[in-house]
Amino acid sequence: MRRKSRKQSMATIEPAFLTRRIPPYELLSEEALSSLEQQAEWLLTEIGIEIHDDPVALQLFREAGASVKGQRLRFDPGHIRALCETAPKTFTMHARNSKKNLEFGGDNLIFGAAYGSPFVTDLEGGRRYGTIEDFQNFVKLTHMSPWLHHQSGTICEPTDVAVNKRHLDMVYAHLRYGDQAFMGSVTAAERAEDSIAMAKIVFGEEFMRDHLVVQGNINVNSPLVYDNTMTSALRTYAQAGQGNVISSFIMSGAMSPVTQPALIAQCHAEVMIGIALTQLVCPGAPVVYGSFLTTMDLKSGAPTFGTPESTLATLAIGQLARRVGIPFRCGGHLTSSKLVDAQAMLESGNAMNCGVMSGANFIFQAAGWLESGLTIGYEKFVIDAEQCGALARVIQGLEFDQEQFARDAYLENGIGNSFLGSEHTMRHYRAANFDAELCDPNSFEQWRDEGGKDMQQRAHYKYKKMLAEYEMPPMDQATDEALLEFITRRKSSMDDMWY
Amino acid sequence: MRRKSRKQSMATIEPAFLTRRIPPYELLSEEALSSLEQQAEWLLTEIGIEIHDDPVALQLFREAGASVKGQRLRFDPGHIRALCETAPKTFTMHARNSKKNLEFGGDNLIFGAAYGSPFVTDLEGGRRYGTIEDFQNFVKLTHMSPWLHHQSGTICEPTDVAVNKRHLDMVYAHLRYGDQAFMGSVTAAERAEDSIAMAKIVFGEEFMRDHLVVQGNINVNSPLVYDNTMTSALRTYAQAGQGNVISSFIMSGAMSPVTQPALIAQCHAEVMIGIALTQLVCPGAPVVYGSFLTTMDLKSGAPTFGTPESTLATLAIGQLARRVGIPFRCGGHLTSSKLVDAQAMLESGNAMNCGVMSGANFIFQAAGWLESGLTIGYEKFVIDAEQCGALARVIQGLEFDQEQFARDAYLENGIGNSFLGSEHTMRHYRAANFDAELCDPNSFEQWRDEGGKDMQQRAHYKYKKMLAEYEMPPMDQATDEALLEFITRRKSSMDDMWY
């Protein structure tokens, strides 16, 4: 009767990325999807898109057959979709630790840290501007979180480093304190070049000619505009054969009409333009179809997250992205809450769950977000990361072999008796359930006697413990010195800019 | 260009129940579902089920062709499923206010209040035993919540009333302080009879002969046991042509094997027995296929909620229930947290979202749950109720008429401009987004200046305000007097029992 369970639990292994074994949720019919695609084509044909202050990009589109008037581009129906066709359906992204290489696309799912907050917060120090030490801390926490696969990029803004130099310290932190995949700078073309140059020091110029190791996170300036900062960074990464993640970050009612179908179709049109541009620069360049669709409080103009309308939009855009057939990015643990309260995890859970169910391949912003992205929280980070683990278990689905049906347990146990002591339970109890250590399931009395802590307080203890136990992944000394030498040289070539 | 939007927002109407316009999530393949059904049949054939201390129920099954040895029942493959076939696929439940009548089954979804907590809590008074005043308060809050459609039953235990008399005060509170559908007592057959008798005073004996107005909430004593308390209450409601909700409340690892496929199949077998019993008592009696499947912390034995394993089990059991074809109940806003913190709403959101996506027709336990059901929280109640509103918006799905595509707004707006002031936004801004008033999307500074409250604190204010503004729904004086007379008479016939 005794057999070894053939599978280890998700809780005891640490995959470099996840593979989905459950289907995505199909919200919309073929007819509805087709009407969204038609609306996107209408936008590209009748309204068009503008690329501001980037004659190179305009020229590329002109040569590809677009109608260009001033900075406005218009496309015949189907043209942009056709230009996206050289983008790879799946691709590998190489990490410094090759065991942590990532496969984008298909049934794969990659979780990454938050991106872009000027502020950081924790229970002890409260909300304050982020520093390079905070940045390093979040790279360390990402490195230590078994359920985060990608270090993201600007995890927080290191505001104690000059604006024109901080990308160097950020990329160094990504390369030195962690060994997973990461994103480089996109705030200027030369900063993207610096990011690529630093990656070459670690990965080798030769290797990077045909291997992806660094991505740019490119946002559309919705509605229907790309600005030169983004398109030049995009072109820099694509030219180097490196990656881009193209996303529309749209709050409906401001950067799009307030109705979700308009929002969804606009996102589709906008993102395809960015994808097409990567392919015009370098056919076959690895690129991700990104979306970041949400709502706003129309009374105050404040962004809102995890809302029902954003859930529907995210599920729909996932279907459209799958039809284009390239890796899809969306959502994350998003909230407008200022602290890690009920609102924070209600909104975050909604936003993240629909992202996973939408069939996403890449969800950064998966750990740390607070305050509509203005703040990254230490406690929020470890709570979100743990929830990524729970979702990893969900997408593993169920298996239906005889061992899972436990007939031996029923035959052993009879009727009316607890299964806690049965052989079958013994065989499975370690691997059976995901262990969410920050959730306290204990009795009221035990919980009270242990201090009556809320989840945020438990998370505070956990993140402190993790940082105390952090071990730096190895890097050979020559590489490290070369990185530092590069940074010193680049920094000494510039005056500090603080805005 | 100006057209009236043809639809009102979900936020401005108050439907008696919801109708799902998005598909349920189909987790499992036909093959997997079939293997679960085979396992359920194996359990019923090889292991069997026991009904304890209810010779009437045993006799009904014997007459229907079951093998009965002692209290153990066994069934030929397919037999129980066939006995379920007379159960109606859809039925109407009548409320005191006929505008609040409910349609169970099909694409309909009904949310109801929590059920069964001995304790109540709020920020002011902390955790304490529930009283009849608390009970009345929660009926009032349910009555006032536009997103709760069913008053549930034992919302909290009124522990200040004798155990053998409190059902009278509870049913009175349901009938007097609210006007929606409700559940009666199931703690003894005569208490079920009292519940029905009180309902007859309000609805009329004649009317109740062929109209459903009160349900019993029947739980299996898993694994594989029904006890007499439950089966006799079940028979009482069914005999009167009234309703039952049959649920297995199983924590895998204790009341079932620890592996989810075993849990799911066991639930299916157990619930079908209860459904079959209702049909043997009264063919065509309205009944709900219920499930309440969750996990436990296998180290401590504490129940856990909103876990990935329970998500998978809930999605699977929804598919099995749909194959039986009768209304399906599951889940709710469930948590083991002791306060309304991040854990509470993370777990609750997970449990509730998967319930809705599973295709459920009835989700009570949708508002108020804390501490694994031992406590109902006032603040939790109003937060959960608001989230029911958000989910109501999700299941409404998207529409794809031209107005939703907002082409006029693009033509008016051009490129790069905010849509906030566009005509299209003006036409839609009231109805566009669900208004979650307990979620604070404001800036950090505004939030801080308004007191830096967390969601629980905002909810405290809201529930107090609701109770202060409560208005009792009308009831004619003769009916009220008859109810009170019935209660006085019944109470005077019994000595107080306190355990």
Average pLDDT, chain B: 95
Q: Is some CB atom of chain A closer than 8 A to the CB atom of B478? A: no
Min CA distance, B60 vs chain A (Å)?
Answer: 21
Q: Do A391 and B308 touch (CB under 8 A)?
A: yes
**Could you tell me the residue ranges of all domains in chain A?**
18-24+84-396
Interface test with B, best of A255, A258, A317 (most B CBs within 10 A): A258
Name the band, by pLDDT with cuts 50, 70 and 90, for residue A15. Answer: confident
Q: Do B357 and A223 touch (CB under 8 A)?
A: no
Min CA distance, B151 vs chain A (Å)?
Answer: 24
Q: Do A36 and B400 touch (CB under 8 A)?
A: yes
SS3 A434: coil
Residues of B in contact with A400 (CB under 8 A): 31-32, 35-36, 261
CA–CA separation, A79 and A41 (whole Å):
9
Cα–Cα distance list, A201 to A172, A185, A186, A211 (Å)? 11, 16, 19, 14
Q: What is the pLDDT of residues A160-207, one digit of tens each?
A: 999 999 999 999 999 999 999 999 999 999 999 999 999 999 999 999
Report the percentage of chain A scoring pLDDT > 70: 97
Q: Is the pLDDT of residue A4 over 70?
A: no
Q: Do B439 and A336 touch (CB under 8 A)?
A: yes
Q: What is the pLDDT of residues B134-150, one digit of tens each?
A: 999 999 999 999 999 99
Instruction: Take residue A477 and report the two structure tokens written for it.
Output: 């000394």
- The pLDDT of A463-476, averaged and rounded, is 98
Nearest Cα residue to B127 out of B378, B344, B456: B378
Name the band, by pLDDT with cuts 50, 70 and 90, for residue A14. Answer: low
Q: Is some CB atom of chain A closer than 8 A to the CB atom of B419? A: yes
Q: Is the pLDDT of residue B162 over 80?
A: yes
Residues of A in contact with B350 (CB under 8 A): 349, 353, 390
Q: Do A301 and B420 touch (CB under 8 A)?
A: yes
Q: Do A428 and B43 touch (CB under 8 A)?
A: no
Q: Is some CB atom of chain B closer than 8 A to the CB atom of A319? A: no
Of B301, B312, B447, the CB nearest to A394: B312
Q: Is some CB atom of chain B closer than 8 A to the CB atom of A144? A: no
**Least confident window among A52-56, A292-296, B13-17, B376-380:** B13-17
String of b and e for A295-319 (b: at least 16 CB within 10 Å)? bbbbeeebbbbbbbbbbbbbbbbbb
Q: What is the pLDDT of residues B313-359, one digit of tens each?
A: 999 999 999 999 999 999 899 999 999 999 999 999 999 999 999 99
Name the band, by pLDDT with cuts 50, 70 and 90, for residue B14. Answer: low
Report the percentage of chain B scoring pLDDT > 70: 97
Min CA distance, B210 vs chain A (Å)?
Answer: 37
What confidence score (pLDDT) does residue B4 get?
36
Q: Is the pLDDT of residue B234 over 50?
A: yes
ipTM for the predicted complex: 0.96
Name the band, by pLDDT with cuts 50, 70 and 90, for residue A19. Answer: very high
DSSP B248: E
CA–CA separation, A430 and A449 (whole Å):
27
Q: Are B333 and B369 in contact (CB under 8 A)?
A: yes
Q: Answer left, alpha or beta for residue B433, where phi above 0 means left and psi between -120 and 50 means alpha.
A: beta
Min CA distance, A412 vs chain B (Å)?
Answer: 10
* Strand-pair category, A287-296 with A225-227: unpaired
Count of CB atoms situated within 10 Å of the CB of A203: 20
Under CATH, which number does the domain B18-24+84-396 receive? 3.20.20.480
- The pLDDT of A342-361, averaged and rounded, is 98
**Least confident window among A138-152, B79-93, B424-438:** B424-438
What confidence score (pLDDT) does residue B134 get?
98
CA–CA separation, B399 and B393 (whole Å):
12
Min CA distance, B484 vs chain A (Å)?
Answer: 37
Q: Is some CB atom of chain B closer than 8 A to the CB atom of A232? A: no
What confidence score (pLDDT) does residue B123 get?
98
Nearest CA in chain B to A263: B405
Q: Do A422 and B456 touch (CB under 8 A)?
A: no
- The pLDDT of A84-107, averaged and rounded, is 98
What confidence score (pLDDT) does residue A5 get?
38
Tokens 């599920």 correspond to: A315
Nearest Cα residue to B301 out of B258, B269, B253, B344: B253
Q: Is some CB atom of chain A closer than 8 A to the CB atom of B452? A: yes
Nearest CA in chain B to A257: B419
Nearest Cα residue to A53 out of A288, A280, A243, A221: A221
**Least confident window among A328-337, B4-13, B18-27, B300-309:** B4-13
Of A256, A258, A433, the CB nearest to B428: A258
Beta bridge partners of B218: B246
CA–CA separation, A233 and A230 (whole Å):
5
What confidence score (pLDDT) does residue B339 get?
96
Q: Is the pLDDT of residue B8 over 80?
A: no
Hey, which residues 170-209 in chain A have their CB within 8 Å of chain B?
none
Q: Are A96 and A217 in contact (CB under 8 A)?
A: no
DSSP A43: I
Q: Do A22 and B27 touch (CB under 8 A)?
A: yes
Instruction: Take residue A449 and report the two structure tokens written for it.
Output: 């006697």
Hey, which residues 84-113 in chain A have their CB within 8 Å of chain B?
none
Of A127, A257, A436, the CB nearest to B425: A257
Nearest CA in chain A to B351: A349
Nearest CA in chain B to A46: B411
Q: Is the pLDDT of residue B15 over 90?
A: no
Size of interface A-B (CB pairs under 8 A): 361
User: Using a CB cutoff of 8 Å and minimum separation of 24, what contacts does B406-409 make?
Assistant: B406/A257, B406/A258, B406/A259, B406/A262, B407/A39, B407/A42, B408/B1, B409/A257, B409/A262
Residues of A in contact with B403 (CB under 8 A): 259
Q: Is the pLDDT of residue A350 over 50?
A: yes
